[in-house]
A and B are shown apart, each in its own frame.
Chain A
Amino acid sequence: MISRREFCHKAVIAVGGIMIPLTALELFDPRRLAAEKGGSGTTRWAFLVDAHKCVGCGFCVKSCKIENQTPYDSNVSRTWVERYVVTKDGNTYIDSPKACRDGFTTTKIDQNHQGMKDIRTEDVAKAFFVPKLCNQCDNPPCVQVCPVGATYQTEDGVVLVDRSWCIGCGYCVMGCPYGVRFFHPEHHVAEKCNFCYHRITKGMKTACVDACPFGARRIGNLRDKDDPVTKVIMTERVNVLKEEYGTKPQVFYLGLSMEVK
């Protein structure tokens, strides 16, 4: 027969034991803690898009598709350029035909199943082009949802996909708020912009940066205080896409308009 005193004693021990989380039993590793608190490396890649300078020529998309071997005639692309036309009656029309691979060559705006919408010159209130690419977020939701560890972030902040490890479940394609991920038509695994990782790690710039004649796209290292791109990001009025999602995007925009989604 258990006494009341003994019962209370054992109950307290049991409840206390249950409440110890498993992580409390793990050995403390300061190196891992440092890594999780923003990293210790000397490089953190960031991108700067100057939307004021973009003319919608699409050379960036063309070079990206060839450099990274995205099938040229497929409708998917690691980067693309959107056209925004705001009319005087307050409507916004957005299109990106073939991801802007061949540039914008007509005033007609592709409205998908509603056909091509031609907007008369006198109705245009403002128009502009917005290049888009992977934001290499500091909190990448696409990486969180990967069930197998096929997509991950490197120490320098670039999110990569391990093609031999991806099972093609598509969670990351759904999880990205910016719609930058897609399935590679030939490899049948998740595909995304990786800031031309094979180029930036050799000291080169990305293919799209090299292809842009107008300097609308630039890449830099945020941990280098003397980097011209870092200086712009730190001192000028830059914006990011969908800040409210908390993803901490590392692609910064100059001249972003409120119509941009």
Chain B
Amino acid sequence: MKNHVLRPLIVVGVIVASMLVARAIVVPSDFGVHERGYMYGWHRLSNEQEWKAVQVRYKTSAGCPRCHPDKAADLANSPHNIISCENCHGPALEHPKDPAGYFIDRSRTLCIRCHAKLPYGNTPRGRIRGIDPDKHYVQAECVMCHIPHNPKPTNQKQEVKS
């Protein structure tokens, strides 16, 4: 073959070969079409495992009564027993092993999520007992008077602890 034909062909061949080599290095071996077909399943398969391996922070309330039966008993007949422990006490993370890493939210902002009175009578929100956060003992934390675990009317004024 003539030289002026052969040389560009070699250049093209080298470019194609280098692209194939680069592709083999850069593109992971598990990258390709998976269960959901060409349209939606084109991905790196090991990424699914990476997402499954993300740390679980909220461990649910299932394990709490084992060590805190008194709190569970307080809650049992309280309207607050529908609230997950972790909503106020924070995510359990490695809690039993690491008690110090725990933060209890006693702020007003936590309580007024539900108990700021909103006049929406057609929703369950309108039926929750509520206050106006700008007028109801603005300077105080709710837990100074109300027991969060059982805020029923009879217990509403927290007894002074000696």
Residue A228, interface by CB 8 Å: no
Q: What B residues does A57 contact at CB under 8 A?
A: 113-114
**Which of B36, B57, B109 has a CB less than 8 Å from the CB of A155?**
B36
Residue B124, interface by CB 8 Å: yes
Nearest CB of A to B129, in Å: 12
Q: Mark B45-74, 1 if CB is under 8 A from A, else 0.
A: 001100111111110100000000000000
**B36–A105 touching, CB < 8 Å:** no
**A152–B40 touching, CB < 8 Å:** yes
Q: Mark B91-123, 1 if CB is under 8 A from A, else 0.
A: 100000000000000000100111010111011
Q: What B residues does A194 contact at CB under 8 A?
A: 51
**Which of A52, A126, A143, A207 has a CB less than 8 Å from the CB of B40?**
A143
Q: Mark B20-45, 1 if CB is under 8 A from A, else 0.
A: 00000000000101111111111110
**Which of A52, A56, A59, A107 has a CB less than 8 Å from the CB of B87?**
A59
Interface size in chain B (residues, C-beta < 8 A): 45
Stretch at the interface among A4-12, A177-185, A196-204, A238-246: A196-204
Q: What A residues does B82 contact at CB under 8 A?
A: 213-214
**B54–A213 touching, CB < 8 Å:** no
Residue A261, interface by CB 8 Å: no
Residue B83, interface by CB 8 Å: yes
**B51–A198 touching, CB < 8 Å:** yes
Nearest CB of B to A124, in Å: 6
Q: What B residues does A213 contact at CB under 8 A?
A: 82-84, 87
Stretch at the interface among A14-22, A31-39, A89-97: A31-39
Nearest CB of B to A131, in Å: 13
**A152–B41 touching, CB < 8 Å:** yes
Nearest CB of B to A171, in Å: 14
Residue B14, interface by CB 8 Å: no
Residue A114, interface by CB 8 Å: no
**B35–A143 touching, CB < 8 Å:** no
Smallest CB gap from B79: residue in A:
A213
Residue B128, interface by CB 8 Å: yes
**A66–B91 touching, CB < 8 Å:** yes
Residue B125, interface by CB 8 Å: yes
Q: A59-B87, A213-B83 are in contact. Are A153 and B56 (CB under 8 A)?
A: no
**Which of B39, B52, B122 has a CB less than 8 Å from the CB of A198?**
B52
Q: What B residues does A52 contact at CB under 8 A?
A: 123-124
**Which of A107, A128, A151, A164 has a CB less than 8 Å from the CB of B122?**
A128
Residue A112, interface by CB 8 Å: no
**B31–A36 touching, CB < 8 Å:** no
**B86–A154 touching, CB < 8 Å:** no
**B56–A105 touching, CB < 8 Å:** no
Residue B13, interface by CB 8 Å: no
**B84–A197 touching, CB < 8 Å:** no
**B120–A35 touching, CB < 8 Å:** no
Name 5 A/B residue pairs within 8 A (Cβ), A-sorted.
A56-B125, A59-B113, A63-B87, A104-B118, A140-B40
Residues of chain B having any CB pair with chain A under 8 Å = 31, 33-44, 47-48, 51-58, 60, 82-84, 86-87, 90-91, 109, 112-114, 116, 118-120, 122-125, 128, 133
